Amino acid sequence: MSAGAAEQDPFSAPFGSLFGDRMTLATLEPGSGYRYPGHAVALENLSLHPGTHALHYASACFEGLKAHRQADGSLAIFRVDDHAERMVQSVQRLSMVPPTAELVRTMIVDAVEANASFTPDPPGSLYIRPTLIGTLVNIGAAAAPSDSGFLYVITSPVGDYFAGGIRPLTIHIETEIPRTTPQFGMVKSGANYVMALGPTLDAKRDHAADQVLFATGGDVTETGASNFFLVDDDRLITRNLDESFLHGVTRASVLTLAADLGYEIEERSVPLDELEAWVDHGEAFLSGTAAVLAPVGTITIAGDRLQVRDGQPGANTLRLREALTDIQLGRADDPHGWRTPVEG
């Protein structure tokens, strides 16, 4: 049993620090593609040569999705195909041999079934982490992709991403340092996250911020781990997609649900000036697999602290959050086919 997941409470342990005790693992061998035995194995340490490509040249990427205990006691994964496809896209950007989305999906389903008993009841869930690392042993291969690798799926019983449940967050706006490079923004690669770490730690220390909202040159995009929205009673606004930031699956879900509920949708650039004016009357929130929908209560920018309306979670944010979680948790119909039922 790793990290005592069976005994520890996912609601008090830090998000992602407990693990289910099984994993699925496939190996990529040069010239012969991915080999997956077709079942989960015990979660064990990986043995890596110190000259492994991923450790030196960041040939690594991952996904993050969740399985939720349903209202009827069954278990379902949320939007598994979309996450599998995004994983394939990330691997392509690393210039490694991509697995098929079908293989990634199968390995996710098998890993969830093998760890189903670790799933906490809502608002907890089983967080799922598909991962690929390049295992070529060559410290001279800075300009060559890894032609071998480990593709694996591990799971983590989780409570709330933001300690304290639904509470209005404080976000700091960073206008100078970008989150990552423009061509890698849509890749879920660890290097992106370490690039965002410095500004995030500074914002936590200097502005008591929960997250940094990156708005390079005044162009509001995303935070270090979630997408960003403005909403009022009529309209939902978010940055239009390009390669510079992550195409969130939650973002896509919120846009679909908001359209279903009759909101006018605006996917376009969001200038910083507009955001500053918006918060007098409108709401702002973050979206992500981990964050779900998290209301923003305060924005700090260049030494100023702006309160978002009355600083409390807004009615539209809570309405959209509920529409999303109702589908995730099987409390509502699934008109868009987002739930995949699994054994357990």
Ligand X SMILES: Cc1ncc(COP(=O)(O)O)c(C=O)c1O
Asked if residue 129 binds ligand X (CB under 6 A), the reply is no
Q: Round to whole Å and give the CA distance between 102 and 111.
A: 14
**Tokens, residue 22:** 């099984």
Query: Which residue's CB is nearer to ligand X, number 246 or number 294?
Result: 246
Out of 83, 105, 188, 251, pick the active-site residue.
188
Q: Round to whole Å and give the CA distance between 124 and 128.
A: 13
User: Which region, judged by CB under 6 A, interacts with ligand X, from 67-75, 206-214, 223-231, 300-308?
Assistant: 223-231
CB of 15 to ligand X, least distance (A): 12
Query: Which residue's CB is nearer to ligand X, number 24 or number 226?
Result: 226
Residues 57-86 that bind ligand X (CB under 6 A): 64
**Tokens, residue 58:** 């960041």
CB of 204 to ligand X, least distance (A): 17
User: Which region, judged by CB under 6 A, interacts with ligand X, from 159-167, 212-220, 243-251, 297-305?
Assistant: 243-251
Q: Round to whole Å and give the CA distance between 154 and 24.
A: 7
Cis check for the bond before 37: say yes or no (omega within 30 of 0): no
**Tokens, residue 162:** 């933001």
Closest C-alpha among 169, 283, 268 to residue 226: 169
Q: Round to whole Å and give the CA distance between 323 and 198.
A: 35
**Tokens, residue 328:** 């995730």
The residue within the footprint of ligand X, chosen from 148, 289, 316, 340 (CB under 6 A), is 289
**CB-based contact 134:151 (threshold 8 Å):** no
Neighbours of 41 (CB within 10 A): 12
Query: Which residue's CB is nearer to ligand X, number 221 or number 298?
Result: 221
Query: Which residue's CB is nearer to ligand X, number 103 or number 212?
Result: 212
User: Which region, judged by CB under 6 A, interacts with ligand X, from 5-13, 132-140, 248-256, 258-266?
Assistant: 248-256
CB of 49 to ligand X, least distance (A): 29
Asked if residue 189 binds ligand X (CB under 6 A), the reply is no
**CB-based contact 37:107 (threshold 8 Å):** no
Query: Which residue's CB is nearer to ligand X, number 136 or number 254?
Result: 254
What residues are labeled active site? 188
Binding site for ligand X (CB under 6 A): 64, 222, 225-227, 246, 248-251, 287-289
